């Protein structure tokens, strides 16, 4: 006899129901959504957005910023950056309905609000920062600065120097001429297949012509973009977003921006957030420090925050001679180590043997161990260099690196490296020597000269001291969790906008979300 089945209550997913809820009751105290609602309703001045509206007398009623802001901030806190998904959430998610008061802003309205209110978002960021100060969440004891490079809504394929872009323009013209010539030679389609081919060719010509006009317009309306290094060298421009930059990251080369954040130690509140279209971070230190000082003075927190003993820390990416001089002359209590900091510390002498190298797996780019520069014979008096194969390398000048250390640079002659039997052991990319625009092996050597101590030496002494090591040890625990929260929990891995101002507005919105979370967790939000 079969065993009897247990009896359950019947259920049916395919049914409608009307549920009466109160939207305010959905915003429970202690949650992020409640903190956002409380701040917007009781603490923040949203009249800063009003001058952008032009419908005082006529036109359709606009969505109140008090409705759009909580929707966008709550969406960002859940890792939602798509404006279409925000619209869907306003239609189907009860928390979004509570924050929007059961309205459904169109996705274009939400997207435009983010992209067109960068100045207002910065003022809003400062208002929230002032609330953090009023509630005692700022310690002003130690600031940690760091950056995170992320791609933006810019095409990496549309970047290059003006010479490269002019070559791209010529290539597009040749392709258009080629397709038009083929079209004229085979004019008069007789079969359906020939007609389809002509249609495809016409679409190709239109697409190529659009690209040509895009490049041509850019070259006529812009100037070459110059770098900010010691040598006045042209860097790659970008047709789609010329304020972005090509940057090298651990995940490869990207086209985007560097989001730099300054974090207060006490509760990891972000006190400054800026986006820079530069791959090198040492150019950003001074603007960031000046921005923090100006903001603190504007908000009435401190007239001169750095003169009150506040410690500033940053990693090795921000270290160069100019920045060390700036910190010294401004009497800023800063600790910014050079890239040889750990090699001078006995604690890290056996680090690689104990834990292995940082990157165990070699990159797909073919990075390999090659003959080191120490195997080359360098004469600092005559400034000559002999490679392991016995060939003389060409001297390419002597200049100071970013740490102020003078170095002599050498490069192998192309024909020598091309036919050298040790080419594959000596060069990362041996094929580079096989064409006329390639380069031979490059090496550099430090020139030990009797020079007076510079500002980099001054910073080395500070960072290498027991007090300096103890202070700098706090940097990672202050700033890295912030980027972990924004990047992992909030799923920010790229900027969805173009232009430095718009990208900075989006970056400040994410930092704003982080600060509001801190207020929800550690602040006093009335129920």
Mean pLDDT of 11-17: 88
121-124 long-range contacts, Cβ below 8 Å, gap at least 24?
121/505, 121/508, 121/509, 121/512, 122/504, 122/505, 122/508, 123/48, 124/44, 124/48, 124/69, 124/512
**204-208, 254-258, 335-339, 367-371: the lowest-pLDDT one:** 367-371
pLDDT surpassing 60 at residue 189: no
228-232 long-range contacts, Cβ below 8 Å, gap at least 24?
228/278, 228/280, 228/283, 229/280, 230/399, 230/400, 231/399
pLDDT at 430: 86
pLDDT surpassing 90 at residue 141: yes
What would the pLDDT profile of 149-180 be if each residue is shown by its tens digit? 999 999 888 998 899 999 999 999 999 988 88
pLDDT surpassing 90 at residue 119: yes
pLDDT surpassing 80 at residue 294: yes
pLDDT at 365: 53
The residue that leads in pLDDT, 379 or 518, is 518
Confidence category of residue 454, pLDDT binned at 50, 70, 90: confident
Contact 362, 391 (CB under 8 A): no
**70-79, 179-188, 374-383: the lowest-pLDDT one:** 179-188
Please give the mean pLDDT across all residues of the chain: 89
What would the pLDDT profile of 328-361 be if each residue is shown by its tens digit? 999 999 999 988 888 787 777 766 666 665 555 5
DSSP E strand stretches across 403-507: 406-411, 442-446
Contact 104, 121 (CB under 8 A): no
Number of DSSP helices (H) and strands (E) in the chain, helices first? 17, 13
- Predicted TM-score of the model (pTM): 0.82
Cα–Cα dist 189/365, whole Å: 48
Confidence category of residue 37, pLDDT binned at 50, 70, 90: very high
Say which residues have a Cβ less than 8 Å from residue 436's Cβ, sequence separation at least 6.
414
What would the pLDDT profile of 259-290 be if each residue is shown by its tens digit? 999 999 999 999 999 999 987 888 999 999 99
pLDDT surpassing 80 at residue 190: no
Contact 147, 317 (CB under 8 A): yes
Strand partners, 398: 408
| SS3 at position 385 | strand
């Amino acid at each position: 006899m079969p065993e009897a089945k247990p009896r359950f209550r019947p259920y049916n997913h395919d049914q409608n129901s009307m549920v009466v809820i109160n939207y305010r009751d959905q915003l429970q105290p202690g949650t992020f959504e409640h903190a956002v609602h409380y701040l917007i309703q009781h603490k923040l001045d949203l009249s800063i957005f009003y001058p952008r509206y032009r419908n005082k007398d006529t036109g359709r009623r606009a969505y109140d910023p008090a409705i759009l802001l909580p929707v966008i901030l709550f969406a960002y806190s859940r890792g939602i950056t798509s404006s279409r998904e925000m619209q869907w959430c306003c239609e189907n998610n009860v928390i979004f309905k509570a924050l929007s008061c059961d309205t459904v802003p169109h996705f274009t309205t939400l997207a435009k609000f983010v992209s067109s209110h960068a100045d207002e978002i910065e003022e809003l960021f400062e208002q929230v920062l002032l609330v953090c100060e009023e509630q005692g969440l700022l310690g002003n004891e130690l600031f940690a600065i760091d950056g995170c490079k992320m791609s933006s809504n810019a095409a990496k394929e549309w970047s290059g120097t003006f010479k490269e872009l002019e070559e791209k323009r010529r290539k597009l013209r040749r392709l258009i001429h080629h397709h038009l010539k083929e079209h004229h030679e085979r004019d008069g389609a007789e079969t359906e297949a020939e007609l389809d081919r002509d249609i495809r060719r016409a679409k190709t010509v239109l697409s190529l012509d659009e690209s040509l006009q895009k490049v041509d317009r850019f070259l006529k309306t812009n100037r070459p973009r110059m770098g900010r290094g010691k040598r006045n060298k042209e860097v790659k421009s970008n047709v789609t977003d010329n304020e972005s930059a090509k940057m090298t990251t651990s995940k490869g080369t990207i086209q985007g921006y560097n989001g730099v954040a300054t974090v207060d130690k006490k509760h990891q509140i972000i006190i400054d957030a800026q986006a820079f279209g530069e791959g090198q971070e040492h150019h950003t230190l001074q603007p960031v420090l000046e921005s923090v000082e100006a903001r603190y003075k504007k908000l009435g927190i401190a007239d001169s925050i750095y003169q009150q003993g506040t410690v500033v820390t940053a990693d090795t990416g921000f270290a160069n001679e100019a920045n060390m001089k700036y910190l010294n002359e401004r009497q800023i209590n800063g600790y910014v180590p050079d890239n040889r900091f750990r090699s001078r510390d006995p604690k890290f002498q056996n680090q690689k043997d104990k834990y292995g190298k940082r990157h165990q797996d070699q990159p797909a780019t073919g990075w390999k161990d090659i003959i080191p520069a120490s195997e080359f014979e360098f004469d600092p008096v005559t400034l000559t260099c002999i490679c392991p194969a016995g060939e003389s390398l060409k001297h390419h000048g002597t200049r100071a690196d970013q740490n102020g250390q003078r170095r002599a640079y050498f490069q192998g002659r192309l024909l020598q490296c091309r036919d050298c039997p040790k080419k594959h052991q000596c060069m990362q990319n041996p094929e580079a020597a096989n064409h006329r625009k390639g380069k031979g092996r490059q090496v550099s050597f430090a020139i030990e000269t009797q020079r007076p101590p510079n500002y980099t030496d001054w910073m080395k002494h500070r960072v290498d001291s027991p007090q300096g090591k103890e202070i700098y040890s706090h940097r990672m625990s202050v700033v890295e969790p912030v980027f972990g929260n924004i990047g992992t929990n909030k799923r920010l891995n790229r900027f969805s906008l173009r232009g430095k101002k718009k990208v900075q507005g989006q970056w400040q919105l994410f930092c704003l979300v982080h600060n509001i979370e801190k207020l929800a967790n550690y602040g006093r939000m009335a129920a």
